[in-house]
Amino acid sequence: MQKRGQYNIIEILIIPVIGLVLVFGFFFTPLLAETLKIQETTFFEKHYLVRDMAMIVDVLYAAPGNMAVVYDKDTKTFSFKFSPKEAIVYDATSDLKLETSYRIIGSRLISLEPAELMPEFTPKETTTKEAMTRKSIPVFAKLSNRIIIKDQEGMGSLTLLELPCSPGKPAELKKIAIDAGHGGELTDKSADDGYTSPAAKEKDLTASAATYLINSFQGKMDFAYSRADTTSDATLQKRSTSSQIEKDFGGSDIILSLHIGNKPGNSNTVKAFYYATAAEDIQAQSKAIACRVLNRIAQEDIGITGISLAPIEPKQYHDEEFLDEKKPGFILELGSIQSAATMSMLQDISKLGLLTQGIARGLGLS
């Protein structure tokens, strides 16, 4: 018999417990169901994608030469982040945005530029499945000693062109003679503009590239420049001869003559020419350095569509008399003055910086 004021412990606890269960069920069951739904539909996909992409990056680290991989698997609504240490995947359309990561082994000799790739949404602020207009398509590229990961839409005109250069390291350069092609006056006193187009004159473009190269890397190497101002108009400059450069600057290790081609169309092919009649060892040195310069330029994201290296006969064209058969040297033809891609490369200051950086690295300045 239970006395007044005495309660069974079960009776004391049962009402609060039932209340908690009801509250939990009301508030947390929908959230739990949504979480389980997310886990059920994306857990394995996220783990598969992040492992697959991390392994692609590790393959690029180990691969010889340049290569690119366009990721062809369905990335659904996922976004991706990459760093030298790990690959991360998350769902931008989910409120939770749970991240799944996988380690990248990497290498100290090759750099990986951090990147984040997301689907496109319209409007951009609305990251819902209904607002998604394009899935992310990762492109993995290895260019020399760096790995770049971008969305296919943002990869631009990055090229993976590469010429087979002769083995061995070219001789160290201490002084470079830079010839900015054209400029000044011809023997008939007419202006030597080189090729022209409504957008520019060749002499101005080569002067700009040469000046940018010299100003950017003056502390790392001595330069001999082939122009000296003769009037108040800096675009009208007197062009020296190779013998005059030798006299003025006390000798150089190589001569680099910058020019612009005139091929119709919108291609942006950079070409290098060396003297076919030079001594065998001079030809070998010219080819080795020119090949390195071309390959370095092709690694920059500046819209290069092709590179080529070929011999040239003395006086075959208008302007290669600047080269010296007794000294390593080559003409570097920077695209075509009729090409919008070339104009962008030479007139956009950021692209011009990348172009001269590629030339400098090919010459051993980095």
User: Residue 239's domain is classified under what CATH number?
Assistant: 3.40.630.40
pLDDT higher than 80, residue 306: yes
Distance CA 329, CA 313 (A): 13
**What average pLDDT does this structure show over 76-97?**
91
Percent of the chain exceeding pLDDT 90 equals 23
Mean pLDDT over all residues of the chain?
78
Is 282 domain-assigned? Answer: yes
* 339 and 194, same domain (yes or no): yes
Sorting pLDDT into bands at 50, 70 and 90, what band is 47?
very high
Domain boundary among 122, 154, 186: 154
Which pLDDT belongs to residue 58?
94
Which pLDDT belongs to residue 122?
87
Sorting pLDDT into bands at 50, 70 and 90, what band is 41?
low
Sorting pLDDT into bands at 50, 70 and 90, what band is 14?
low
Sorting pLDDT into bands at 50, 70 and 90, what band is 89?
very high
Helix 202-217 to helix 349-362 angle, to the nearest 10 degrees?
Answer: 60
Domain boundary among 154, 184, 211: 154
> Where is mean pLDDT largest: 2-11, 79-88, 157-166?
79-88
* 180 and 234, same domain (yes or no): yes
Is 336 domain-assigned? Answer: yes
Helix 280-298 to helix 349-362 angle, to the nearest 10 degrees?
Answer: 140
Which pLDDT belongs to residue 16?
66
Higher pLDDT, 200 or 188: 200
Give residues with Cβ within 8 angstroms of 169, minimum separation 6.
Answer: none
* 260 and 145, same domain (yes or no): no
**What average pLDDT does this structure show over 125-130?**
84
* 271 and 357, same domain (yes or no): yes
* 96 and 214, same domain (yes or no): no
Which pLDDT belongs to residue 24?
59
For residue range 338-358, what is the model confidence (pLDDT) as tens digits?
999 899 999 999 999 999 999
Is 11 domain-assigned? Answer: no
Pick from 38, 31, 359: nearest CA to 212: 359
Is 121 domain-assigned? Answer: yes
For residue range 57-75, what is the model confidence (pLDDT) as tens digits?
999 998 877 777 888 889 9
Which pLDDT belongs to residue 322?
60
For residue range 206-243, what is the model confidence (pLDDT) as tens digits?
888 988 888 887 777 777 666 543 333 333 344 555 55
* 267 and 301, same domain (yes or no): yes
Q: What are phi and psi of 238, to 5 degrees?
A: -85, 130
Is 275 domain-assigned? Answer: yes
* 143 and 193, same domain (yes or no): no
Looking at 15-24, 54-63, 70-79, 315-324, which range is the least confident one?
A: 315-324
Sorting pLDDT into bands at 50, 70 and 90, what band is 87?
very high
Q: What are phi and psi of 78, to 5 degrees?
A: -80, 150
Percent of the chain exceeding pLDDT 70 equals 72
**What average pLDDT does this structure show over 74-84?**
93
* 208 and 348, same domain (yes or no): yes
Is 168 domain-assigned? Answer: no
Residue 52's alpha-carbon distances to 34, 56, 71, 148, 214, in angstroms, are 27, 6, 10, 17, 44
Distance CA 38, CA 41 (A): 5
* 146 and 187, same domain (yes or no): no
Which pLDDT belongs to residue 158?
55
Running DSSP on this structure, what letter comes out for residue 185? B
Number of domains in the chain: 2
Which pLDDT belongs to residue 234?
33
Which pLDDT belongs to residue 203?
86
* 101 and 194, same domain (yes or no): no
Is 13 domain-assigned? Answer: no
Q: Which domain holds residue 187?
A: 175-362
Which pLDDT belongs to residue 344?
92
* 112 and 179, same domain (yes or no): no
Which pLDDT belongs to residue 294?
92
pLDDT higher than 80, residue 280: yes
Which pLDDT belongs to residue 242?
53
* 356 and 296, same domain (yes or no): yes
Is 20 domain-assigned? Answer: no
Residue type, 46: K
What pTM value is reported for the model?
0.59
Which pLDDT belongs to residue 83?
95
